[in-house]
Chains A and B, each alone.
Chain A
Amino acid sequence: MTDSTPVAATDGPSETSRAARQPAGAPNNLTAVVAANFTSALPYILVPVLFILSVIFIPGYFSKSSIISLLILSSLLGLSSLGQTMTIVAGGIDLSIPAVIGLSDIIVTQLYYQHWSLPLIFLAIAALAILIGTISAVASVLLRVHSLITTFGMSLIVSGVALEWSNGATSGLVPGWLTSSVSVIGKTGPIPIPAIIIVWAVGSVLAVLFMNRTRIGRETYALGANAVAARLATVRSTWVQVVVFSVSALCAAMVGIFLAGYSGIPDPTVGEPYFFQTITAVVIGGTSLLGGRGGYLRTVLGALIVAELTTLLVGVGFNASFQELALGILVILLTSSYGRELKVAAKI
């Protein structure tokens, strides 16, 4: 995990990372420009293309329920990737998301079963999430270690706690409206769309505004671009990390609550598929793992693409094993077209 980004030093208008991918002596400059823009626009193109493919290959796909289903899937992935986007832009990564999802699922089902009031449950979960995020952030700073390892450690701890708590818990309870918030036939007030999609839409707008229009948002980019320079430029490095990891944990907790509504039973492992899916969504959207670039709008695209891919594979009849296999290959192929890093020579 590199912590400072290479920039060509002093002489000449040096290559932007886009231009660096051009072959030397591109014969037709127009082609080069189109090619560069195409690869960064690929996520935008893939979303409708995959949808069209699904319509073609899956009979009966073009229906309200399928689309809503797809959007629910995307919302779950998108929300869990919201905080992940921020941590990646800040130069880190959060591997504890699935564990927090599981813990939150357990807490909401158990406490509701024990007749706690809902606001109190949410408050407790939120407080716990913020605590987890803060510990991850502070540990990374104090131990001078990349957040990959500290959040990994946190995930071991949190999932252990979740498993312990759920040990023997066979039943839990969730409020009815929560179930309908993730149900295909759910409604939000008068709008015939399940609440989770609305929450995602609102969250997306807030996330984009947050990263572009607030002080912390800009500081996040600075931190990810060059941690040393950020500290010297009076960026509040530790505070930024605390914020992004807390947001990540909060989003994970929210997803855990929604997933509890999905199944109704306590399941501490419900977050496991999200271990890599959040990273995949962020990277496929086009945000670089190096930090300092990209944004949540791209992750929205990435989440849609991953959801569409999964739906397409299931719809065409691939079993779980084949889905995994295919997803692996697809991740590699997609990133090969627009997620490539610079050549060593270009970093000098």
Chain B
Amino acid sequence: MASVVSRHARPQVLSTPVVRQLVQRNSYIAVPLALLVAAFIANAIVQPQFLSQQSWAASMAVLCPTVLTAMAVTLPILSGNGGIDLSVGPLAGFITVLIAAVLVPAGITSQAIIPIVVVFGLLSGAINGVLVAYVRLPAIIATLGMYLFYQGLGTEVLPEAGGSVPVWLVKLDGSYGPIPAVWVVFAVIAVVWLLLTRGSYPRNLLSVGGDERAAYTAGVNVNRLRVVTYSFGGALAAIAGLMLTGLIQGGDGTVGPPYTISALTAVALGGISLAGGRGGLLGGALGGAVLFLIQELLTDAKVSVYQVSVINGIVLILALALNGTVEYLRRKSAAAKQGQG
């Protein structure tokens, strides 16, 4: 993207360093954005009611946990060195159990649930982060262990789906007037995230992901950064669980695993490299949205449940091919201009 900017004569403002850095750092968005637009249009064509009011709010509610778990996985992946978080799904599932079977019966039904859940997510993420950064387990193994742990714990505490949830939580999956409540949730998250990333955190995160040795020798506290990153991921997964509780209107320890699967698919669709060091939270969110739209499309087109799986797989591979080609062309055109010696 940066090369495109410099090749054609553009007005001054677009060449300022801030804009160029923004473009260069976010050029990975190109493919997922294109996919999003394509999927959106396809949905609108196949199912015109898709654009209607009620359908919107309902869609957003279902979309929400998918997007949030995708975002939750994106952060550890960005931190590089094989970073990943397989536990996002089961953590979200466990949160539904936590709310419906622990907090509500204990009398906590007000909005106080929200900070409790977020703190739980932060702590859970912090445990992952400590296992990866300080105990130095491979992230797959550490988060796999936590995956099994939450699965087991969730179904142990609440063997059968059930429990009750406060009304305001269910309303979070409806609308406040014309606006789907989910948008408010996303807006809050966006504001918080923008505040957190105004400073040097993105630079630190992406450089650790790029080469942790370079970051370490330059003076970045790599371990602390990793713990913080996984904590943020855990918080996002916990919020996903919160929204999920409202969606299923109860607790269910078994709903988690599919979200891990969808989160990984969404990350690939979002143009994020598994090696880390390149991408951003927006990519994860877009990837989740694309995945959701594809699933909507397939449901509307009355595709059988099994074929959905097949098509998901094919879409995934095609998205990878697209990303790979774009990346390859980007590097090739830049290197050609360089004329390396």
Contact = CB atoms under 8 A, between A and B. Distances in A.
A and B touch in the complex (CB under 8 A): yes
B148 interface: yes
A55 to B, nearest CB: 25
A283 B141 contact: yes
A322 B155 CA distance: 9
Nearest to A162: B306
Contact of B313 (A148, A157, A279, A340): A157
Contact of A344 (B142, B212, B321, B328): B212
Contacts of B305: 163
B141 A339 contact: yes
Interface in B114-147: 131, 135-138, 140-142, 144-147
A220 B153 CA distance: 39
B275 A3 contact: yes
Given A150-B320, A341-B137, A160 B307 contact: yes
A153 interface: yes
A164 B310 contact: yes
B162 to A, nearest CB: 15
Contacts of A155: 313
Nearest to B150: A328
Interface of B is mostly: helix
B317 interface: yes
Given A152-B264, A329-B149, A340 B309 contact: no
B62 interface: no
Contacts of B147: 276, 328
A159 interface: yes
Residue from B159, B305, B313 having most chain A Cβ neighbours under 10 A: B313
Contacts of A156: 265, 309-310, 312-313, 316
Nearest to A148: B274
Contacts of A150: 317, 320
Contacts of A152: 264-265, 316
B82 interface: yes
Given A2-B275, A164-B307, A143 B137 contact: no
Given A1-B82, A320-B155, A327 B141 contact: no
B313 A160 contact: yes
Contacts of B265: 152, 156
Contacts, number: 167
B310 A331 contact: no
A344 B213 contact: yes
Contacts of B253: 321
Interface string B325-341: 00110000000000000
B310 A160 contact: yes
A87 B323 CA distance: 24
A229 interface: no
A332 B275 contact: no
Given A321-B152, A324-B148, A326-B152, A157 B320 contact: no
A159 B305 CA distance: 11
Contacts of A328: 144-152
B145 A332 contact: yes
Nearest to A283: B141
B309 A289 contact: no
Residue from B81, B275, B307, B309 having most chain A Cβ neighbours under 10 A: B309
Contacts of B237: none
B12 interface: no
B144 A331 contact: yes
B102 interface: no
Contacts of B202: none
Nearest to B322: A143
A111 interface: no
B136 A343 contact: yes
B324 interface: yes
Contacts of A167: 304, 306
Contacts of A2: 81-82, 275
Interface string A1-17: 11100100000000000
A22 B329 CA distance: 45
A150 B268 CA distance: 10
A145 interface: yes
B256 to A, nearest CB: 12
Given A1-B274, A157-B313, A339-B141, A327 B148 contact: yes
Interface of B: 81-82, 131, 135-138, 140-142, 144-156, 159, 212-213, 216-217, 222, 253, 264-265, 268, 274-275, 304-314, 316-317, 320-321, 324, 327-328
Given A158-B313, A344-B222, 6 more contacts: A160-B306, A161-B310, A279-B144, A288-B138, A328-B144, A343-B136
14 contacts: A144-B324, A145-B324, A149-B320, A152-B265, A153-B313, A163-B309, A289-B138, A322-B156, A324-B148, A328-B145, A335-B141, A341-B137, A347-B212, A348-B216
Q: List the 10 shortest-distance A-B pairs measured between CB atoms, nearest first.
A: A325-B152, A156-B313, A328-B148, A160-B309, A324-B152, A160-B310, A328-B149, A157-B313, A332-B145, A163-B306
